[in-house]
Amino acid sequence: MSSISRDDVARLAQLARIDLAETELDRLAGQLTAIVDAVAQVSQVATRDVQATSHPLPLTNVFRADVVHPPLGQQAALAAAPAAEDGRFRVPQIMGEEP
């Protein structure tokens, strides 16, 4: 069965934006390999003729009447922000410096 290497975990962690410690990489590689081995059994019954289901009950799109509702106020929206300035979220630098 498929095996998830330490490097795979490092790459996935980067995609998921989680910095992992060296010890975590090793531990997760072992655990994830075992879990993926176990869950891979889905392919035994998931044959071509079976349709995929994404949702438990059929859904239709929902619209609301085009009426103005008072939104969450600026103060309330910013109250829990890690940093705010001039009524806006203050965030770290977006782009890194070019090497």
Partner 1 sequence: MSGLIGRTAVELAQALANREVSSREATQAHLDRIAAVDGSVHAFLHVDAEGALAAADAVDARRAAGEQLPTLAGVPVAVKDVLVTQGLPTTAGSRILQGWVPPYDATVVRKLRAAGLPILGKTNMDEFAMGSSTEHSAYGPTHNPWDLDRIPGGSGGGSAAALASYQAPLSIGSDTGGSIRQPAAVTGTVGVKPTYGGVSRYGVIALASSLDQVGPCARTVLDTALLHEVIGGHDPADSTSLAEPMPDIVGAARLGATGDLTGVRIGVVRELSGEGYQDGVRTRFEESLDLLRASGAEIVEVSCPNFPYALAAYYLILPSEASSNLARFDAMRYGLRVDDGAGTVERVMGATRAVGFGDEVKRRIILGTYALSAGYYDAYYGSAQKVRTLIQRDFDAAFTQVDVLVSPTAPTTAFRLGEKLDDPLAMYLNDVATIPANLAGVPGMSLPAGLAEDGLPVGFQILAPARADDRLYLVGAALETALESRWGGPLLSRVPNLTEVAR
Residues forming contacts to partner 1 in the complex (CB under 8 A) are 4, 8-9, 12-21, 24, 28, 31-32, 34-36, 38-47, 50-57, 59, 61-62, 64, 72, 76-77, 79-83, 89, 91-96
Nearest alpha-carbon partner for 37 in 26, 29, 45: 29
Min dist CB 87 to partner 1, Å, is 14
Closer to partner 1 by Cβ: residue 26 or 91: 91
Report yes or no: 84 and 90 within 8 Å, Cβ to Cβ. Answer: yes
Closer to partner 1 by Cβ: residue 68 or 80: 80
9 exposure class (CB count in 10 Å sphere: 0-12, 13-18, 19+): buried
**Which of left, alpha, beta for 17 (phi over 0: left; psi -120 to 50: alpha)?**
left
Min dist CB 61 to partner 1, Å, is 8
